[in-house]
């Protein structure tokens, strides 16, 4: 596998090694030691799978007191994935990075704790998989409005299909430091 740095510290694109022939292909979607050798040293405790139709936008989500690192990829279809740095002490606070993840390129994106995350579906539908370093807690979930003009995210769609919850998130400027993720948990193994 090959890792590609992004402009946001800790956010890494992973290009897996693909073994293909006339039967199809094989790739490892996670190998603890290989990822650890690339400085992705989280232990993932929960796997999630979502299915969404074209035009759906999910996000921008984060957990406040139980921040999650995520390893994400599109299993089918194509999505535009976005991570926003919301670590208050970060030099890139409020900056975002976006990448197209698809069943064709098979890329993964590692998103460390302290980022808000979202994606929109560009293909007719998409299955989206993500590993999380902490458990989902609905009482701890928060978010940022996907269309926050201060973030200026260049989403490749203008009128997405949103959940009611996602359409009512605040702007980043309206969040206090106490309502942002606390950073990586004290236990480096999670």
In the residue annotation, 130 being an active-site residue is answered as: yes
- Tell me whether the omega of the peptide bond preceding residue 60 falls within 30 degrees of 0, making it cis: yes
SS3 104: coil
Distance, CA of 50 to CA of 9 (rounded, Å): 27
35, 107, 117, 130: the active-site residue: 130
Nearest in space to 90 (alpha carbons), one of 186, 179, 7? 7
Catalytic, out of 30, 31, 61, 127: 61
Total count of residues recorded for the chain: 190
| Distance set, CA 165 to CA 60, 162, 179, 184 (Å) | 11, 8, 17, 26
* Strand partners of residue 119: 58, 81
C-alpha span between 102 and 80 (Å, rounded): 9
Q: Would you give the end-to-end CA distance of the chain in angstroms?
A: 22
List, by residue number, the catalytic residues.
61, 130
């Amino acid at each position: 596998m090959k890792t590609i740095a992004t402009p946001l510290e800790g956010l890494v694109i992973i290009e897996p090694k693909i073994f293909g022939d006339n039967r199809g292909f094989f790739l490892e979607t996670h190998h603890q030691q290989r990822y650890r050798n690339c400085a992705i040293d989280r232990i993932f405790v929960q796997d999630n799978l979502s299915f969404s139709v074209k035009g759906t936008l999910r996000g921008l989500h984060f957990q406040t007191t139980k921040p999650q690192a995520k390893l994400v990829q599109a299993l089918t279809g194509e999505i535009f994935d976005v991570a926003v740095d919301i670590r208050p002490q970060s030099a890139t606070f409020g900056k975002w990075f976006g990448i197209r993840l698809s069943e064709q390129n098979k890329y993964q994106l590692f998103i460390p704790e302290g980022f808000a995350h979202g994606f929109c579906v560009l293909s007719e539908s998409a299955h989206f998989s993500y590993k999380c370093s902490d458990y989902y807690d609905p009482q701890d979930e928060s978010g940022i409005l996907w269309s926050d003009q201060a973030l200026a995210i260049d989403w490749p769609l203008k009128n997405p299909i949103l959940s009611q919850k996602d359409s009512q998130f605040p702007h980043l400027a309206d969040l206090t430091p106490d309502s942002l993720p606390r950073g990586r948990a004290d236990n480096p193994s999670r």
